[in-house]
Amino acid sequence: MIITNILCIDWLIFIIGWLIHFICCSTCPIIDWLTLSTDISTCHATWVGSIATLAGSIATWGAAICALISIYLAYKAFRGQVNASRRASFDATFTQIFAQHNTLRARVISHSNSFWCEKNVFTRCKEEFAQKGNQTVLEFWKHFNEKVIKNEVSVDFKNFFKYIYHEVTTVTDQEKKVLDNYTKKKYIQLIQAQMNNDELFCYLINQIAHYDEHATNEKVKKYADKLKKYDFFKELCESKNYYRGLIYRMYKDTNDSETMCKFIKKENIKDI
C-alpha cells in the first residue's frame, strides 16, 4: 500500500512538472510579441526563434507523454502483480481454514458415541427443536446447551459455529481488488457446501439465538446481513425434507419471525 501511494504521488508530480514546462514554453511567442519593438526584422527573427522553441517544447512534451504512458503501464503491471500475490496468499489461507473446519466438525461428531447411540449432536439438536413447544429459539438454544448436551460437548458445539463466522468473514472482508462479489459468493458457497442440512439448521438456530441476545451489537447485525446477502441458508428453504416445515414454523412464530428474516430473504421463505 505504501509503495502504491508513493508511485501515485511521483506520477502526479511528474505530470504537473511537465504541464508547467509546456505552458511556459508554449506561451513564449505570445510574450515576445507583446514585448517586442515594432522593428519588423527584429520581430521576424524573434518569432522564428520562438517558433523553434515551441517546436522543441512540443517534441519534449510528446516524449513526456510517451514516458507517462510507460509509467502508467508499468504501474498497472505492478498492481496486477500485487493483486495476484494477495489472491495467492488468500487461497493458501482459505485452504488451511477449510482443513480446520473439518477438524472441528469431527470433534463435535466424536461425542456421539458417548451420549446418544449413533446420533450426533447436530441431529439431536434438530430433533429436540422440532419438539420445543412454545420456547423461543433463544430459550431453546440455552436449554439445549445447558441442560441437554452440557459442558465439553457444548463447548465444541459452539466453537464449531464460531469458526464458521471466522471462515465467512475471512472471505467477505477481502478487498474488491482481491475478490469481487461474485467470487466471494462462490467461496461462501464452498463453506456452506461443507455442511449438511442438520449442521446448517443448527447454525441457523445458533445465529438467531445469538442475534436475539445481542440485538444492539452492530457487528452482529452486519454479519447477519452478510449471511443473508450470500444466501447462506437458501438450501434449507429449497430442501424437500422437513427442514422446510421447521423454517416455515419459525416464520409464522411471532417471537422468531422477525429475527429469522435477518438471515433469510423473505422470497425464499414464501416459496416454501
Q: What is the pLDDT along the chain (272 residues), one digit of tens a residue?
A: 444 444 455 555 555 655 555 555 555 554 454 454 445 555 555 555 556 665 666 767 666 677 677 766 666 665 666 566 777 888 888 888 888 999 999 999 888 766 554 678 999 999 999 998 889 999 999 999 998 888 888 999 999 999 999 999 999 999 888 889 999 999 999 999 999 999 999 999 999 999 999 989 999 999 999 999 999 999 888 877 778 888 888 888 877 889 999 999 888 876 55
Tell me, rounded to whole angstroms, the distance of Cα 206 from its chain centroid.
23
Q: Is the residue at 138 inside a domain?
A: yes
**Within this chain, do residues 248 and 124 fall inside the same structural domain, yes or no?**
yes
**Within this chain, do residues 121 and 66 fall inside the same structural domain, yes or no?**
no
The domain of 149 spans 110-270
**Ramachandran quadrant class, 158 (left: phi over 0; alpha: psi -120 to 50; beta: rest):** alpha
**Within this chain, do residues 185 and 143 fall inside the same structural domain, yes or no?**
yes
Q: Is the residue at 99 inside a domain?
A: no
Q: Is the residue at 171 inside a domain?
A: yes
> From residue 82, how far is each of 3, 79, 88, 108, 204 by CA, in Å?
10, 5, 10, 39, 37
Spatial neighbors of 223 by CB under 8 A, at least 6 apart, are 165, 168, 169
Q: At which of 38, 60, 78 does a domain end?
A: 78
pTM for this model (two decimals): 0.70
**Within this chain, do residues 149 and 225 fall inside the same structural domain, yes or no?**
yes
Q: Is the residue at 248 inside a domain?
A: yes
**Within this chain, do residues 197 and 260 fall inside the same structural domain, yes or no?**
yes
Provide the sign of the torsion angle of the four alpha carbons 37, 43, 49, 54, taken in this order: positive
**Within this chain, do residues 169 and 63 fall inside the same structural domain, yes or no?**
no
CA distance 249 to 205: 13
